[in-house]
Amino acid sequence: MEGIFGNHWLFAASVAELPEPGDYVTVDYGPHSLILVRDDNGGVNALHNVCRHRGARVLTEQSGTTGNLVCGYHSWTYAPDGTLIHAASAPGEKFDKDCFALKRAHSRVVAGLVFICLATEPPEDFDAIIPTIEPYLLPHELNKTKVAYQQDILEEGNWKLVMENNRECYHCDGHPELACSLFPTWGLSDGLIPPHLEEVWDRNQTAEQELQDRCDRYGLPYRVIEELNTRIAGFRISRESLDGHGESFSESGRRLSKKLLGDLPDFRLGRCSLHLQPNSWFHMLSDHVITFAAFPINERQTLVRTTWLVADDAVEGVDYDLDTLTHTWKQTNLQDANFVALCQKGASSPAYEQGPYMKSEYQVEMFIDWYRQRMQEHLA
């Protein structure tokens, strides 16, 4: 927790989860609890959810709207920027309210995604990746989206198992719903295609070429940029084709919401996917966005929060059906949660010995490398 979550920029939420001034969400990373509150200028304050009086949790709901933040124990009252503005029966001039503001964490918003950093001095390398990733993300205009649905799964596994599982599709035979649209050949390359996926691979190659032609026409970036183990803010970004109609994560690959996001010119834009170390991944489509965050609870449990965003003017029941919109990834997440729990159980056995990674698991290795390097630096 100290070496990774205490030192790096962490994904927390998207701006759609706190659209108006005063809107807040609370997020926990192990023992840390943070309040993210939207301020009047469109920024997001990140405050430690720990009362400066006797330490009570100040906000206990996962989300809501508030003017000031009032601790439920003795009513110490804080402004949305954390300043202490009221404490009853304070001991006269000896008590300086300015010394008891809620502690702040660093926060920043990148293309509508809210990140926090618990370190005193946040690593600067995050700045370096922003110009690279923003051109992929900005066309989806997350500031003009709303939350259609949020799913929390308490996974019975260490957060690293959650991330490892996300970084490969070697297990994608276990995702029948996802395999309709997300090519299960993801992570494979020519010469590594198992016989049962050869037909899918050919379709994948054709779809990829068509998508790239379309992106060239619209000026959308699609190239895979993979810096998963080289920088402090390790990432992978790309725009990749989807199977079938190539529009969205449905059985046929057709759109799941009738409203395009932002000013996107076409539904057939595949998925713009961002994988970020240490705790998040994102799929941005023409009709909706899905954000995924892993919040460690303890060494054996992780909360995985998945949020589906649609255009803010899309109407449920008219432009999208909630069950259909969320079906593929709800199922996929449950299947993944099961894989993670199985690994936690198996790897906890004294008989466990690490086996080799296969070629299509190279991104798991990159995650491990990233983790090992960061931990070595931290321990040094």
Binding residues (CB under 6 A) for ligand 3BY: these are 166, 169, 172, 182, 186, 273, 281
Q: Which is nearer to ligand FES, 87 or 304 (CB)?
A: 87
Question: Per rule CB under 6 A, is residue 97 in the interface with ligand FES?
Answer: no
What angle in degrees, to the nearest 10, is found between the helix axes of 159-166 and 322-347?
120
Tell me how far, at minimum, the Cβ of 148 lies from ligand 3BY, in Å.
Answer: 18
Question: Per rule CB under 6 A, is residue 86 in the interface with ligand FES?
Answer: no
The site partner of 343 among ligand 3BY, ligand FES, none (C-beta below 5 to 8 Å per kind) is none
The site partner of 74 among ligand FES, ligand 3BY, none (C-beta below 5 to 8 Å per kind) is ligand FES
Question: Per rule CB under 6 A, is residue 218 in the interface with ligand FES?
Answer: no
CB 34 within 8 A of CB 13: no
Four-residue CA torsion sign, 133, 255, 327, 210: negative
Tell me how far, at minimum, the Cβ of 174 lies from ligand 3BY, in Å.
Answer: 10
| Closest C-alpha among 108, 110, 112, 138 to residue 272 | 138
Record the tokens describing residue 102, joined without a space.
Answer: 């809620």
Question: Per rule CB under 6 A, is residue 54 in the interface with ligand FES?
Answer: yes
Tell me how far, at minimum, the Cβ of 99 lies from ligand FES, in Å.
Answer: 15
Question: Per rule CB under 6 A, is residue 309 in the interface with ligand FES?
Answer: no
Tell me how far, at minimum, the Cβ of 115 lies from ligand 3BY, in Å.
Answer: 19
Cis-peptide into 278, omega within 30 deg: yes
Q: How far is CA 26 from CA 4, 17, 91, 108, 195, in A?
A: 20, 11, 31, 16, 47
Q: Which is nearer to ligand 3BY, 133 or 169 (CB)?
A: 169
Helix (H), strand (E) at residue 134: helix 125-137
CB 106 within 8 A of CB 77: no
**Interacting residue ranges for ligand FES, rule: CB under 6 A:** 51, 53-54, 56, 71, 73-76
